[in-house]
Amino acid sequence: MRRTLLILVGAAVVLAALGVPGLRAGASRTRRVAAPQTGPNPTSASPVVGMATDPSTGGYWEVTADGAVFAFGAPFHGSMGGTPLNQPIVGMAATPSGGGYWLVAADGGLFAFGDAGFHGSMGGTPLDQPIVGISADPVTGGYWEVAADGGLFAFDAPFLGSMGGKPLDQPVVGMAASPDGGGYREVAADGGLFAFGDAAFHGSMGGTPLARPVVGIDDDPAGTGYREVGADGGLFSFGAPFFGSMGGTPLNRAVVGMASTPDGAGYRLVGADGGIYAFGDAPYLGSVDVLPLAGLTVAIDPGHDGGNGGDPAIIDQPVDGGGFAEPCDTAGTSTPDGYTEHAFNFDVATRAETLLRAEGATVVLTRTTDTGVGPCVDARAAVANLAHAAAAISIHADGGPPDGRGYTVIEPAPVVSATSDNTAIVGPSAQLGAFVDAAFGSDTGLVPSTYDGTGGTDVRDDLGGLNLSTVPKVLIECANMQNADDAALTESPGWRQQAAQGITDGIEQFLLAGLRT
């Protein structure tokens, strides 16, 4: 029976975060257990979003955003991997027996496996804020779902109060039930801790400056307290033993959760890349290898289009390029032998798409054929913006002076107009440009432009695709098609592959740098 209550319990204990500091780990108190060399780890194209400990075996499960579950020293009961989901999975919880587990999605959809019963969910119900976590009731066998606004939804588990409808400094990121099932705690990204029922408040990181936000909470099975974990692997203990953390240690990707061992004498942290960091009596039993760019979206804009030259009525129409009018698009240039820029751009773009997908990225193209007209430059920018791309690039080849050679990476200058404001992405775009510049030159062997920009880069405020972007974006002129030597390169499939590799490497290096903690 669904027992979701929409009215806050007046007697619920809501304790403000007092900022009591937990224990921070120094290098001498951090331990990462090496993986046993028993075979290759499983691979995932989706980032890990959480984990749970099997209370019967002491093993654990990792779950990815697409619902795939990976079992290590614990039985596999099934997963949503390979099944279309309305929203990504955001967390999991094991049953008290360890004979099953639940997965919960951002829309509150609930998926039960093994002996985990389905008691209802928020799936299909409008929510003010997305669901961010789930916790099992060790007494009733029910569970709670918690939302980013602190709203708490109980299913065959007692409702003891929530932060729903109350002002929060930072969103709630997770919850944990007390061992006796008589209470639970919600934790916010700033470390603020809110306790309900018999769950005691022992302190929190609320009000204390943090290197990275808190991403989760776990109760000590012994019932003495709880621990908060940050995205950088920093671990803060309140009334619970501290066994170490990854705080201060560089990580490839952020920590996304933690889980204690059944006896409470250890715990594991899990990263978005699947990395497991084990402390205390928690053994390392394996992990999943997540592809480097999993969970990230890249937008690629192959400049121009094959039908542009035959439809001037469309491509000559003016559009707003960010405070000024410019043509919808142009036909582009070509080599003296007649190899067109639009064909070059599309070929390099699709090659880069293949390479980026192999690294786990989701790739969106502004056009998927080389026979159409447009789209206009403002629509091309909108494709990347609507996709919330982590990086975007517009691929071109130049029609410069015949005696000039080389490539140019063009970065956006700050532009604020009635229809645009790209100031927030100017800095990140410059970083993206620096990575693309270095990788493209290294992978292709081509020199930086001898006639445009400085040292392979330029900054411009007259390109609508850059002015209208709300995501980090650059434009690359891969070569000068009017130069005989450069033209020969663009006509070579082998060199176009090198150009795609250079673009891919630059984007990947930019994205990986942003993921490291």
Active site (catalytic) residues: 477
Residues 74 and 62 sit within 8 Å (Cβ to Cβ): no
Buried b / exposed e over 436-467, threshold 16 CB at 10 Å, is: bbbbbbebbebebbeebbeebbbbeeebbbbb
- Helix H segments across 268-408? 312-315, 341-358, 377-386
Q: One-letter amino acid identity for 30? A: T
Q: How many CA atoms lie within 13 A of 307 on its CB side?
A: 12
CB-based contact 159:151 (threshold 8 Å): no
Q: What angle do CA 188, 193, 196 make, to 5 degrees?
A: 120
- Centre a 10 Å sphere on the Cβ of residue 16 and count the other Cβ atoms it contains: 12
Q: Give the number of C-alpha atoms closer than 13 A to the C-alpha of residue 282, restricted to the C-beta side.
A: 32
Answer whether 385's CB lies under 8 Å from 420's CB.
Answer: no
Whether the Cβ atoms of residue 449 and residue 480 lie closer than 8 Å to each other: yes
Distances (CA, A) of 155 to 98, 119, 392: 19, 6, 43
CA 514, CA 472: separation in Å to the nearest integer?
A: 12
Indicate the residue type of 481. M
E-strand stretches of 399-441: 408-412
Taking the C-alpha atoms of residue 286 and residue 136, their distance in angstroms, rounded to an integer, is 24
> Pairing between strand 255-260 and 266-271?
antiparallel
Report in angstroms the alpha-carbon separations of 134 from 157, 247, 505: 12, 25, 38
Of 68, 72, 82, the C-alpha closest to 38 is: 72
Cα separation, 66 vs 68, in Å, equals: 6
